[in-house]
Amino acid sequence: MPIGNLMLDLTSTTLTAEEVDLLAHPAIGGVIFFTRNYESIQQLTALVKRVRMAAQRPLLLAVDHEGGRVQRFRQSFTVLPALARLGEHYATDPLAARQAAYRLGWLMAAELRAVDIDISFAPVLDLNYGPSQVIGDRSFHREPEIVSELAGAYIGGMHAAGMAATGKHFPGHGFVEADSHLAIPVDLRTQEQIMQADVLPFARLIPQGLNAVMPAHVIYEQVDSQPAGFSRIWLQTILRGQLGFNGVIFSDDLSMEAAGVVGGYAERAEAALAAGCDMILACNQRAGILEILDQVKLQTSPASAERLTRMLGQPFMNRSALLEQAYWQQAVDEISHLA
């Protein structure tokens, strides 16, 4: 059975009866975890097993675990620095910064793979222009060349730990001030300006093995009237066509305020899938998930199914084995100086 193309969230640290039923639905292809789903390593490990048992088929288990402000699991996990710390390190020692980026990517991914989480939606490839508070220090740097260099090393570390990488937020969320969780950001720059700056990290990392992309809920008015995540121009013409990307396209959360420009949850899901998303996310709004399941014909195409299968985590050591690794301790020691 192919992986479904709808990712949902869970309400607590254990599964409810409704969630058990939802996970059995063939359209559900993934679960994204939040801080509310985590109490301890033991509890999370049990929850992951219960989720996989309820589904009885391959599921993509995901989390936003970038470091800094965005790290969902903290107790018993290494506290990860914001990616901007690597950019600051680069200013004084580029080689050491690249090495730290590799170790940080490996450490983040290794600790998640050790509890059977497939992917973290990372790294952020947005440029830090300054005004955007929602991006800010989640970005490696302002310069696309440095972002590309550090992100390339970070992704190499993720791959070494058995995790696929997701670059976000295509084609770039860093220039606009508004937070797409709360408003509808509009970027007034020309396509050429965006392509020559914000898109560069994506363009450079795609040939290096960038596995997935998450588009921004931002309207780039001079390119399309729809946010990038609902735009065939951005996802098909530019990302797949011009940049030659053949990995997974995840929608950003359809519950975000900026996604509302296309209508209700069913309309948002249909628009994202029609634009070219392989998997859509609907979080923190169970009624939205139910509306999508009730009103949208969800069917994973053979191409999407193949791409999504490639996102499943590769075999990795369990947590006990990980903590015995000298490399893990070396990575923790190095990263602690950046946090």
Q: Which residues are designated catalytic?
A: 181, 252
3 touches 308 (CB < 8 A): yes
Cβ contact 227:193 at 8 Å: no
SS3 letters for the chain? CCCCCEEEECCCCCCCHHHHHHHCCCCEEEEEECHHHCCCHHHHHHHHHHHHHHHCCCCEEEECEEECCEECCCCCCCCCCCCHHHHHHHHHCHHHHHHHHHHHHHHHHHHHHCCCCCEECCCECCCCCCCCCCCHHHCCCCCHHHHHHHHHHHHHHHHHCCCCCEEEEECCCCCCCCCCCCCCCEECCCHHHHHHCCCHHHHHHCCCCCCEEEECCCEECCCCCCEHHHCHHHHHHHHHHHCCCCCEEEEEECCCHHHHHHCCHHHHHHHHHHHCCCEEECCCCHHHHHHHHHHCCCCCCHHHHHHHHCCCCCCCCCHHHHHCCHHHHHHHHHHHCCC
- Give the closest residue to 111 by CA, choosing from 73, 166, 81, 139: 73
